[in-house]
Amino acid sequence: MDTMNDKLTIALTKGRILKETLPLLACAGIESLEDINTSRKLVFDTNRPEVQLVVLRGTDVPTYVRFGAADMGVVGKDILMEQGAEGLYEPLDLGIARCRLMTAARVGWQSDGARIRVATKFVNIARNYFAQQGVQADLIKLYGALELAPIMNLADQIVDIVDTGNTLRANGMEPLQEIAAVSSRLVVNKAAMRSRYAAITQIIGDLTAAVQEAQSATP
């Protein structure tokens, strides 16, 4: 599928990932002609006329790339684990927006050996994890404020992204088991990789160099 104006389109994830992606793109020679952080627009031209950027919710990035509305994208590994990576290549770990996907519960909580209730927005990941652990878990899908679920006795545990752990501590909770280390990944539409091979591999190479430079500059 051709993208808008036949430009090579890179889908970016809003929020923290966007803030950490833009410097890598700039190091790779791709910069928006407008300030993405202050603009209300969603589609941005860049200093490279053949490349444009779109800004989306993280959960939507794989869909846009999978169906060819975007050629490439930047998204958290947690989203890829939850949705699956069908139709996508994942050529590069950008090493940004690092965090952990973990189970958590109220401080001192102990399982009585029976079924547990788990609140999460990562239902597929949680189902697979608890099955591998041999734990019978009833999953409750929530979209935010997961820490409230154990406080209100809606769930025994949660499965969520943990960065500093401050939010858990503030709500009387503690992390339990790490399910996966998470960082942001570059994904590419498989059909676009074939039809725009030279342009896409050039960007992958430029971003790889940018990631290596950023990592070498980190103490």
Phi and psi, residue 166, nearest 5°: -65, -40
What pLDDT, on a 0 to 100 scale, did the predictor assign at position 34? 95
> Angle CA(35)–CA(39)–CA(41) in degrees, nearest 5?
115
Identical fold at 4-97+183-217 and 99-181? yes
Average pLDDT taken over every residue of the chain: 94
pLDDT at 3 over 60: no
Mean pLDDT for 101-117 is 92
pLDDT in tens, 201-214: 999 999 999 999 99
What pLDDT, on a 0 to 100 scale, did the predictor assign at position 136? 95
| Contact present, 136 and 193 (Cβ < 8 Å) | no
- Per DSSP, helices labelled H in the chain are 16-27, 61-66, 77-83, 123-133, 148-151, 166-170, 190-195, 197-217
pLDDT in tens, 34-51: 999 999 999 999 999 999
What pLDDT, on a 0 to 100 scale, did the predictor assign at position 113? 76
Read off the tokens for 39.
Answer: 């603009």
Q: Where are the domains of the chain?
A: 4-97+183-217, 99-181
* Whole-angstrom Cα Rg for the chain: 19
Mean pLDDT for 9-17 is 96
Mean pLDDT for 143-150 is 94
pLDDT at 75 over 80: yes
Fold (topology level) of 4-97+183-217? D-Maltodextrin-Binding Protein; domain 2 (3.40.190)
What pLDDT, on a 0 to 100 scale, did the predictor assign at position 156? 97
Mean pLDDT for 13-18 is 96
- In terms of CATH architecture, what is 99-181? 3-Layer(aba) Sandwich (3.40)
